[in-house]
Structure 1
């Protein structure tokens, strides 16, 4: 069955319902009721597979989480404490792996055994950035997927964290923290090929500032945690615009779409999708936005109502929803491939795929077509 066609048909049906009848309102907008069709991805059948497995399919013997996916959905990076995902190099502690969906290969990307935060894979799948503890400070590292070689990214502060990668992995946006008096923090973009750094913004505090970079490295959306404001910086002129949410409300950054056109942010109990060119916002009420696909059309969100699905994918143009998981699950930024085809998430549920007996948190991929 052609699932692209199914999605188009669902969009048309939804639009017809909006015009011809009174609609039922789901969180944030009128939405089509999810279809139950044989062969469509469901939590117990086709369309969902476990990613945190060894090349031979052996389930991990540790917790896996923090997955990010390439734009084409081919490669997924994730962190795991499992020792058996790469039998030739079992190791210990938290490490980073890449799963190639085309070759079914699971490759070790990092041999660091200290706690590692969520990795980020470049849109083309060639590089993985991660941040973890090195001695007493947090540093950013970049690994090349093909060779496995790791580059330590120069960090001017005592700690660098929250990396965000351009599509080709050349530009790394990160938060650098200087803990020695006077304590301060700045957002910067590192071009590791030319060994140059641009300062995006600098704050006189160390409260939760983090960036999200566009695919071409031109735009950086960033959060000032103390002011609770979100801004967008343009590398062509070095200027920042914002706060994009206006002066009357607080905001928390979720993600900038890779095309640089949409910024997802949270304010109160609602999610907003900001159009950079027009300056307008699309409201998705009473949900927590989690990620947006590279084109800015598909929003992954978690409803505040815990009695229904835990993760849902919304087509922002048609207002239709696709259920990602009914079981308890979570996800982070860069979790959706182009066109909303693939979504990666993590869950401790043991009934998402058959044979899940490890009693651990696993990483899963849901494919819609």
Structure 2
């Protein structure tokens, strides 16, 4: 079953502008996303903002269960810049409810009016969606009034809302313990020394014990190339003793034999305990990967096994490119986007689709792939003549941004792998259909 998340306040329509960058909570009960749509909540405004949808209707019981996250702490109005114009917020993620509190949403914003007395611009925030309280995350250690002197962005949060990771625009990766009030509650896990050594796009394991990120820096002796690679850092030493700030980044984009990817890798993902990771690369990390394009990979950091996720239904390596892999808590269910028409039978729409692959835990090199972007009747979605007003511009890259219609991309899994949120401009995913003019947010639910 596929559900339209970006429903209008009338209950019978859909977003009037593009929505993207969606994440689903570990429990699968709530979704956050970035949107320019004005008809999804009763709080109108312009620009890109972060919205929260309570799929169960317990926290937001009325209407379409959607509220604006980045609101003024006092008036509830949408965020503003210092010049008084509509600000913008993006890069959000949502945690689970913990002991009746939360869920928490983390997001980045260029607004200044989200927390009373806070005037720095370009920070990471956390909001308790049950209480409505918003706090600044990207603060200097030991001082709740001191901003980190740079722009902070791309935050992610552990399942219980305790640990938040993010990167700064000058190439550092940070982690903060939201339950700690000590002067060491924030740590700079990897620090840029300038030049071409940026680290970015952190993801945090569900239990908060590990982070994974992409980096241009050589952080391991095994990194013998001069391109972007994927690293994993174990945070448990720092979590138990905040004075322990010595970290050993482990290179993740390697073959099963440990040979580093010779070409750039990016878009990392990580499972619940940090032992299994995913990433995209156009490096051939398995012997039969000879397509020369971007592929989705899986690696078990404990067993050192590296597996190609984006295999065809017959087990072969398809010609199309695959990207943005993400994992459930177990690490044995993955979701990704692909331009290939050979991953499942019946894929004849000729455009990027979202896919789910269930790996065999006994042999992860084997598995079964399913199309996420399906019509209600079970066919592959994206047929141009399937509904009135459908639009497409021939875009062949799997990135959902304004103007790139009739594709499905950016899938992200719930903890049990039974729900996946994704972004699509396809018009025939639900009944009644959308018009295909703008990217919408959808959740597909699978049986156990």
**TM-score interval (norm. to shorter):** 0.5 to 0.7
Give me the TM-score of the superposition, normalised by structure 2.
0.56
2:235 maps to: 192
The 3-state SS of whatever aligns with 2:297 is: strand
**2:425, 2:439 within 8 Å by CA — same for their partners in 1?**
no
Aligned length: 281
Q: Which runs of 5+ in 1 are unaligned?
A: 1-10, 15-25, 28-34, 319-369
1:230 maps to: 296
Change (3 A) 1:210 1:46: closer
**2:154, 2:202 within 8 Å by CA — same for their partners in 1?**
no
Change (3 A) 1:200 1:128: same
How big is the shift at 1:218?
1.4
Deviations 1:157-206 (A, max 9, x none): 8221111101222201111213899522321210123333322123323x
How big is the shift at 1:117?
3.2
Structure richer in helix, relative to its length: 1
How big is the shift at 1:309?
6.9
Give me the TM-score of the superposition, normalised by structure 1.
0.67
Is residue 172 of structure 2 the alignment partner of residue 139 of structure 1? Answer: yes
**2:421, 2:441 within 8 Å by CA — same for their partners in 1?**
yes
How big is the shift at 1:271?
1.3
How big is the shift at 1:235?
1.9
**1:212, 1:222 within 8 Å by CA — same for their partners in 2?**
yes
The 3-state SS of whatever aligns with 2:112 is: coil
**2:124, 2:153 within 8 Å by CA — same for their partners in 1?**
no
Query: What is the CA RMSD across the aligned residues, in angstroms?
Result: 3.2
Is residue 116 of structure 2 the alignment partner of residue 77 of structure 1? Answer: no
1:158 maps to: 197
- In 2, the alpha carbon distance for the partners of 1:298 and 1:70 equals 15
The 3-state SS of whatever aligns with 1:276 is: strand
- In 1, the alpha carbon distance for the partners of 2:229 and 2:422 equals 29
Aligned counterpart in structure 2 of residue 210 of structure 1, from 267, 276, 281: 267
Is residue 368 of structure 2 the alignment partner of residue 280 of structure 1? Answer: yes
How big is the shift at 1:247?
1.4
Deviations 1:237-259 (A, max 9, x none): 12211254341232112421233
Deviations 1:279-311 (A, max 9, x none): 110013444132222221112222333247711
**2:278, 2:325 within 8 Å by CA — same for their partners in 1?**
no
Change (3 A) 1:88 1:308: closer
Deviations 1:58-111 (A, max 9, x none): 32112111110013461000001111111222212x110000123321000113
Is residue 208 of structure 2 the alignment partner of residue 169 of structure 1? Answer: yes
Change (3 A) 1:233 1:292: same
Deviates more, 1:237-246 or 1:275-284: 237-246
Deviates more, 1:140-149 or 1:73-82: 140-149
1:49 maps to: 67
How big is the shift at 1:113?
5.1
The 3-state SS of whatever aligns with 1:240 is: strand
Change (3 A) 1:188 1:317: same
